[in-house]
Amino acid sequence: MTPFPRVVSTSSHSDKKNVIVRQPPRSFADALTTSQFTNGEKPDYNLALKQHNEYVETFEKLGLNVILLEAEEEYPDCCFVEDQALIVDNHVFFPITGAPSRMGEQKTIIDTITPHMKSIHWCQEPGRIDGGDVVRVGDIFYIGKSKRSNDEGISQFQDFLFKLGFESYVINVPSYSLHLTTLCSAPNSNILLIPESTANDLVFENLPNSVEIIKIPDNETYGCNTIGIGNKVIISEGYSTVKNILSKKGLEIIELPMSEFRAVDGSLTCLSLFYQ
């Protein structure tokens, strides 16, 4: 078998030219949550909308083409577009989300993305997988087995990746966490952020030696979710350790308030879908 490529060139560069986002609906306070990061308080819709507008404006300032979709009131979680499509080098795998109440969100995403894709693939029953359970580090994909993603869904996505020439590995997501991306991210091609307490649980097989795993204090777990775009990295406001470490690595930091999305287990990456 031909060896897989080992060049680390994350999606934070070539894949981030166009971005799909969707406004939070007025029903946002009813979004699904495990209260992993909060004490069960409900998000404030007006503040969530303000924070989302700042999120969108950040992409515009960075020169990305932003496709802003209207909110769908019947789907409180609809702004979390990441879960509804898995885009790899402009090939798309449409998953079946592990949250039954969210299945209707996908139609608008399908209609928006499909014209821009090289090929289209579909998850089949009984497969379940959420976009939030996929982390790309260069040409390697790590897929979280979680409450939302099962063996069948993961297997189908791995087959999709294999046919495109990519390597993939499965990671068991701790039961207290919603998704794999809740716990980690790659802000650039050489860094992987993970919380200290999960360092022994999250095993990243065949991770290139050029990638440095940086352990973040558990009280800043939420800050481990980042979006890298070139030499800039978007982080959630209020996570000083994450900010200081990435600044020392030479990255330009952009901080965004995320309190209302945090209240319903939403992170930075949850709110966007990128394609070339």
- State how far the alpha carbon of 256 is from the alpha carbons of 68, 105, 177, 209, 235, in Å: 18, 25, 22, 31, 6
Q: Is 52 a catalytic residue?
A: no
Q: What's the pLDDT at 41?
A: 78
CB 119 within 8 A of CB 160: no
Q: What's the pLDDT at 7?
A: 32
Q: Is 79 a catalytic residue?
A: no
Q: Work out the average pLDDT over 59-77.
A: 98
Whether CATH 3.75.10.10 fits 18-275: yes
Q: pLDDT for 110-136, tens place per residue?
A: 999 999 999 999 999 999 999 999 999
Catalytic residue among 52, 78, 121, 179: 179
* Average pLDDT, rounded, for the chain: 93
Q: Which residues contact 255 (CB under 8 A, 6 or more apart)?
A: 234, 235, 236, 237, 238, 243
Q: Work out the average pLDDT over 81-102.
A: 98
Q: pLDDT for 168-223, tens place per residue?
A: 999 999 999 999 999 999 999 899 999 999 988 899 999 999 999 999 999 999 99
Q: What's the pLDDT at 134?
A: 98
Q: Which residues contact 63 (CB under 8 A, 6 or more apart)?
A: none
The two three-digit tokens of residue 159, written as one number: 């087959």
Q: Work out the average pLDDT over 237-263.
A: 98
Q: pLDDT for 1-50, tens place per residue?
A: 233 333 333 343 456 899 999 999 999 999 998 766 666 678 999 999 99
CB 93 within 8 A of CB 157: yes
CB 195 within 8 A of CB 218: yes
Give the largest Cα separation in the chain, rounded: 54
The two three-digit tokens of residue 66, written as one number: 């932003």
| Residue 232, beta-bridge partner list | 229, 252
Q: Cα–Cα distance between 179 and 92 in angstroms, integer?
A: 20
Give, in degrees to the nearest 5, the angle at Cα 144 between 209 and 117: 90
Q: Which residues contact 165 (CB under 8 A, 6 or more apart)?
A: 4, 5
End-to-end CA distance of the chain: give it in Å, rounded.
Answer: 29
Strands 185-188, 134-137: pairing is: unpaired
Q: Cα–Cα distance between 104 and 73 in angstroms, integer?
A: 11
- What stretches of the chain adopt beta strand conformation (E)? 18-22, 65-69, 86-88, 91-94, 119-122, 134-137, 140-145, 167-172, 185-188, 191-195, 212-216, 227-229, 232-236, 252-256, 273-275
Closest CA to 130 of 89, 181, 176: 181
Q: What's the pLDDT at 267?
A: 97
**Residue ranges per domain, the chain?**
18-275
